[in-house]
Amino acid sequence: MRVGIDTQLFAKATPTSWPRPYVLSLRRLEDSKQVDHVIRAFAEPTIRDHDVDLLVVGDGQQAGTLRRLTRDLGLEERVHFLGEVDIQQAASLMKGAALTTVVSRAEGGGLVNVEAQAAGTPVLATRVGGITEYLGGDKGAYFIDDTSPAPLAEGIRRCLTDTALRTSLISFGRQHAEVFETRHLVEGYVDVYRSLEPVARNRGIEPWSKLTADLWDIFRGTDGAQLHSGQHELTALPADLDGLGAPANRWWYTRAEIFGQKDWPEFEAHALRQLREEYGDEVVEGLLAEAAEWGRIDASALSVYAESVREEVDAS
- Give me the residue spans of the domains in the chain: 7-182, 234-315
pTM for this entry: 0.64
- Within 96-198, strands assigned E span 99-102, 123-126, 142-144
CATH topology of domain 7-182: Rossmann fold (3.40.50)
Quote the pLDDT of residue 11.
94
Taking residue 19's Cβ as centre, other Cβ atoms within 10 Å add up to 7
Give yes or no for a contact between 39 and 73, defined as CB atoms under 8 angstroms apart.
yes
Kindly indicate the confidence band of residue 224, based on its pLDDT and cuts at 50, 70 and 90: very low
Portion of the chain with pLDDT greater than 90, in percent: 48
**184-211, pLDDT tens digit by residue?**
787 787 888 788 777 766 666 565 566 6
Kindly indicate the confidence band of residue 216, based on its pLDDT and cuts at 50, 70 and 90: low
Kindly indicate the confidence band of residue 274, based on its pLDDT and cuts at 50, 70 and 90: confident
Give yes or no for a contact between 225 and 269, defined as CB atoms under 8 angstroms apart.
no
Q: What is the mean pLDDT of residues 122-132?
A: 93
Alpha-carbon distance of 112 to 115, in angstroms, equals: 5
